[in-house]
Amino acid sequence: EIYGGLNGFWDYGPMGAELKRNLRDTWWQTMTRDRDDVVGLDASIIMHPTVWTASGHVDTFSDPMSTCKHCKKLVRSDQWWAMMAEQNWTQSIAELIEPGTNRFQPAVLLKWGKGKGKQLAPNLALVRNPDVTISWVAEEIEKGRGPADATELYKFLATEQMAITGLVTPCPHCGGELTAPRPFNLMFRSHYGPVESEDNICYLRPETAQAIFVQFKNVLDSSRVKVPFGIAQIGKAFRNEITPRNYTFRSREFEQMELEFFIRPDDAVRLIHGQVEKWREGADLSATSPAWGWEMWHRYWVDQRTKYYDSVGLGTDVLDYHWQKPEELAHYARATVDILFKFPFGTEELEGIAARGDFDLSQHQKFSGKQLEVFDEELKAAVDKLSDEQKKEFIDKLFEDRKCADTTREESAAYADKLFKGFYLPHVIEPSAGLDRMALAVLAAAFDEETVTDEKGKAETRTVLRLHPRIAPVKCAIFPLLKNRPELVAKAREVEASLRRHMNIFYDEAGAIGRRYRRQDEIG
Ligand code: ATP
């Protein structure tokens, strides 16, 4: 702050550090220590660069970006309308439009362009060239081609030479013209070692998940785990977001808490159990079953994560769910649910829970040339009991199921052959949460104001953070009633000493007792 700050990077002070640590600990406790089927990992932030080629991040981890031709600011193209709604200049123009319509008086807009608009949106065509722009708009309206809604009105006001350029989208910052969107890779790049060359490029990880995939075989071979099991990791991730916004909701350095839960492919489940348990409304998710297919595991993790949020004070009243439609899904995902939180600035993603098939492991197997398949004894034992006829039936069904994915009979047979030998690449369910977003959500949910009347009858509004005790930065505050009574102070100090080793506590003897309570209410 003393240097003006850096957009998209945030520090947490004493209370925030405690709050965040508590959240991190509750996640770790719930996701690993409370379970016997999940283990932890703590991988490095900078990994072998090929990890990011294999994962697809080098080629495709990008957002569309436009540059303002006037103020030179960069804008994320798929978010410019959301940003526009927050701008003073659009809000100011909106006040000039007849409510609920796109109608306005040209003279009123012209006056705005020559006056107020100069400060609010200096590069809007209406401001730079008011008479020409407004006459264009008036002419278009006369021809019946006027703005259809407020969004289009802003485009009209941003466009000077409509006949030549077509409507342009205005820069949210200054109203100027934006360039066409182009992909911008979000990974921070650096170099390892003393020489900066193309041969020693490395990246700050944009997610923690890939380390779990590349260490999958190591963990499997060195821990007493077998599929289904999970690997969890908490750590920093970095994305060079084009437009970091809404405090810690979208920042450039943030912390992720991710689990990769590895499961048997449905085909292996079918070979072992003769059937695959699929999701149906009302299915029991309280106890897992070996016959579950990926759909059940996916639903199970949505349920688990919902229970977790409830345990830190984010109940279903403040959450929402977005089941991605087929056209929204990443090409490798079979299903993705976003758990959303009702932030003051809109209902936005808190966590994504994706069923990713075997995409990641198969990519790393391909790029590294190392076998990442697991050998499943139960599968081998089940297959050994099958007759040749049953095996053939299995391959036929496999081929039928996969035909729509353009898989040939030979490919189906080769895949079945691996399964018959007991080998497969596990599929994965990935609950991926952001710690900083969660901290922001918790603060937003806990924030309250109460109006109280003091002894003199004066009304006062006070801030209260109603944080869940599990995550509250301070668990207990100890106040001697009077600081000039040694026996009271001694007792209070004794209580303090007995608690300090067990929890974060706060000792305070200064000021009126009411004020000391209030300070604690304020920090939750
Ligand atoms: P968005 O669509 O909001 O950019 P995403 O779908 O790209 O998010 P994921 O890649 O699924 O996000 O990352 C998992 C989680 O990490 C998100 O649900 C969010 O909580 C957190 N996260 C992602 N990007 C950021 C960021 N820039 N700042 C803070 N948290 C983030």
Looking at every residue in the chain, the average pLDDT score rounds to 93
Provide the token pair at 245.
């916004």
pLDDT tops 80 at residue 162: no
User: What pLDDT digit, counting tens, does each position of 19-44 carry?
Assistant: 999 999 999 999 999 999 999 999 99
pLDDT digits (tens, 9 = 90+) for 471-504: 999 999 999 999 999 999 999 999 999 999 999 9
pLDDT score of 405: 67
**Ligand 1 binding pocket mutation candidate from 256, 343, 347, 442 (most atoms within 8 A of CB):** 256
Kindly state the average pLDDT of the residues 7-28: 97
Looking at residue 501, its pLDDT comes to: 95
How confident is the model over 289-339, as pLDDT tens digits? 999 999 999 999 999 999 999 999 999 999 999 999 999 998 889 999 999
- Site to probe by mutation for ligand 1, drawn from 78, 250, 255, 347 as the one with most ligand atoms within 8 Å of Cβ, is 250
Question: Is residue 147 within 6 Å of ligand 1 at its C-beta?
Answer: no
- pLDDT for residue 163: 63
Backbone angles phi, psi at 219, to 5 degrees: -65, -45
Percent of the chain's residues with pLDDT above 70: 98
pLDDT reading at 360 higher than 70: yes
> pTM for this structure?
0.86
What are residue 365's phi and psi, to 5 degrees? -65, -40
**Is the minimum distance from the CB of 250 to ligand 1 under 6 angstroms?**
yes
Q: pLDDT value at position 105?
A: 82
Are 19 and 442 spatial neighbours (Cβ–Cβ below 8 Å)?
yes
The residue behind tokens 């925030």 is 16
Work out which ligand 1 atom sits closest to the CA atom of 435. Answer: 20
Q: What is the pLDDT of residue 371?
A: 95
Q: What is the mean pLDDT of residues 136-145?
A: 83
**Ligand 1 mutation pick, 12, 61, 351, 437, max ligand atoms within 8 A of CB:** 437
- pLDDT of amino acid 503: 95
CA of 434 to the centre of ligand 1 (A): 6
Region of poorest pLDDT, from 156-165, 197-206, 259-268, 460-469: 156-165
Q: Is 255 in the pocket of ligand 1 (CB under 6 A)?
A: no
Extended strands (E) in 271-411: 319-323, 335-343, 346-357, 374-375
Could you list the beta-strand ranges (E) of 151-270. 182-185, 189-191, 201-203, 229-238, 253-263
Sign, Cα dihedral of 287, 292, 294, 296: negative
